Amino acid sequence: MKNKEAFERLEALDRKTSLIGHIDAVLGWDFETSMSARGGEERARQMAWLEGEIHKILTSSEMNDALSCLDENASGFSDRDRAIVRIARKAFNEEKNIPDRLVSEFAEASGAASDHWYEARRKGDFESYRPYLEKVFELVKEKAQCMSDGKSLYDTLLDRYEPRMDSKRIAELFDQMEGSIHKVMDMTSGKAVDDSFLYAKYPQKTQERFDKGIVRSMGFDFERGVIGISHHPFTTAVGADDIRITSRFTDPRVADPLFSYIHEAGHALYEMGASNRNTAGTCLASGTSMAFHESQSRLWENVIGHSESFWKYYFPKFRNAYKKQTEGVDFQHFMRALNKVQPSDIRVNADEVTYGLHIILRFRLEKALFAGTLKIADLPAAWDEMSLSLLGRKPENVSAGVLQDNHWASGMFGYFPSYALGNLINSQIYYTMKKDLDIDALLEAGKLKKIKSYLNDRIYKYGAIYESDVLLKRITGEALDEKYFDMYLTDKFSKLYC
């Protein structure tokens, strides 16, 4: 088989798995947003079957034959083509030793755990959920053992979400990050901020209209995307031109659903940009890594969405939409309230400064679980103890603690570090953007689409063609460096709290 023929076969297989993945995503969207209360068990089997079909293709003799005949370094291969081969090789090498039985068993177990997580979180009942989480954890370890190529089990899982990053490097970055966060917490400590107006009663319909307007202004294409409501905010691509996001309106602060939508819209803009004529329908039509994906969602949510320049344009509109709730609130009062630094229980509602501590907590717990020094049964107590150490407080209950996220129920161990790594990446990109654009002027004029175009040209349109570390160096000229996060936080909050 010649190189060209082998690549054509490989790309056909890749397109098939991408198509099945989109079908699976449709079922996942329905599961999260509108499925009946009793539909979870069969839905888990449906999704397990689809994931099994993807596994069969990824590990098929046809895939092996195509990869065996390919030399992606031969002349005539573009960066795009080489990326498809690189990603296919990695998937094949990871999946080839995982038995079909384990794929199906894991998919069903994670589906069941996710289903039981909702009820356990509602009731605050970790014990009823624990056996399901234990089952998922054991299967995750078994999968990691099958995929491991000399790495520790946890490093094997980390590599799935952030290639070429390991727990040692993450621990170094997170230790530096913890120091930066606590420095700013000390700077803002004791400085009272009245944010009570953010907890007033805001009509949900008005919120939905206002929040949707901002998402539209960011460049979210409503002909290629949908927004909805779910228990836990998320983004999913159910097709090349069908990107869906959600928020929730159950949190007490009016800013929370707004910033959930901005966050998820950041993901969606990346997905929309990544699915283009060069990449659509392939493994390339997505972000290059989970950390890079999070860098974009949190760039929009925090660096842009919480900035003074952004709200110089949107604050008058906010006051007009909510006249009663914002009576007597001036711009500086609003900005300090919006950026109030106060440790809290819930990760997705955490302020920009303390958010990273929530991720460091989860990273250290995951490390302990895979090192065998912590058991699933002891997670609630370990969570509370580490929360007290890092955030200075224990959660009010298990629903606000160990049960607040559904990632572990889905088997996504090794995923959480991506959130904080995303903060480091977006800070570094921000300082490069400032050299190229007058960001403040664009934000003050409400020209969010100009920023989206900039990001599309440098990040989004490449999808997964370039690996995360390569792409970051192409954009900024440097490897990942925590100093930019430290600079960003210190500069912003020293001005806000001067």
Instruction: Provide the angle, in degrees to the nearest 10, between the axes of the packed helices 417-436 and 448-458.
Output: 110
How would you classify the pairing of strands 242-247 and 225-229? Answer: parallel
Q: 239 pairs with which residues across the strands?
A: 242
- Whether the predicted pLDDT of 40 surpasses 90: no
Tokens of 108: 């069903």
pLDDT of residue 232: 81
Using alpha carbons, select from 355, 263, 258 the residue that is nearest to residue 300.
263
Of 62-76, 84-98, 182-196, 393-407, where does mean pLDDT reach its minimum? 62-76
Residues comprising the chain, all counted? 498
Under a CB-based contact definition with an 8 Å cutoff, are residues 67 and 88 in contact?
yes
Domains of the chain, first to last: 3-147 (1.20.58), 167-496 (1.10.1370.30)
Strand arrangement, sheet containing 242-247: 225-229, 242-247, 235-239
All residues at 6 or more sequence positions from 486 whose CB lies less than 8 Å from its CB, including other chains: 176, 180, 183
pLDDT of residue 100: 86
Catalytic-residue membership of 264 = yes
pLDDT tens string 101-145: 998 899 889 989 998 998 999 999 999 999 999 999 999 999 999
All residues at 6 or more sequence positions from 488 whose CB lies less than 8 Å from its CB, including other chains: 303, 427, 430, 431
Count of beta carbons in the 10 Å neighbourhood of residue 37: 8
Question: Is 346 buried (19+), middle (13-18) or exposed (0-12) by CB count in 10 A?
Answer: middle
pLDDT tens string 372-397: 999 999 999 999 999 999 999 999 99
Confidence band (pLDDT; 50, 70, 90) for 497? confident
Under a CB-based contact definition with an 8 Å cutoff, are residues 27 and 43 in contact?
yes
Distance CA 425, CA 162 (A): 12
Distance CA 254, CA 334 (A): 12
Mean pLDDT value across residues 198-214: 97
- Helix, strand, coil fractions of the chain, as percent rounded to 5: 65, 5, 30
| pTM score of the predicted model | 0.93
pLDDT tens string 265-312: 999 999 999 999 999 999 999 999 999 999 999 999 999 999 999 999
Percent of the chain scoring above 70 in pLDDT? 100
- Using the structure block, give the residue that is written with the tokens 């440098």: 458
Distance CA 143, CA 101 (A): 11
Q: Taking every pair of C-alpha atoms in the chain, what is the biggest distance, in angstroms?
A: 74
DSSP output for 247-312? E-S-SSSTHHHHHHHHHHHHHHHHHHHHSSTTTTTSTTSS-S-HHHHHHHHHIIIIIITTSHHHHH
Under a CB-based contact definition with an 8 Å cutoff, are residues 223 and 24 in contact?
no
Choosing from 264, 294, 301, 366, the catalytic residue is 264
- Whether the predicted pLDDT of 73 surpasses 90: no
Q: Is the dihedral of CA 325, 304, 274, 213 positive or negative?
A: positive
Confidence band (pLDDT; 50, 70, 90) for 76? confident
All residues at 6 or more sequence positions from 381 whose CB lies less than 8 Å from its CB, including other chains: none
pLDDT of residue 379: 98
**Half-sphere exposure at residue 166, Cβ-oriented, CA atoms within 13 angstroms:** 8
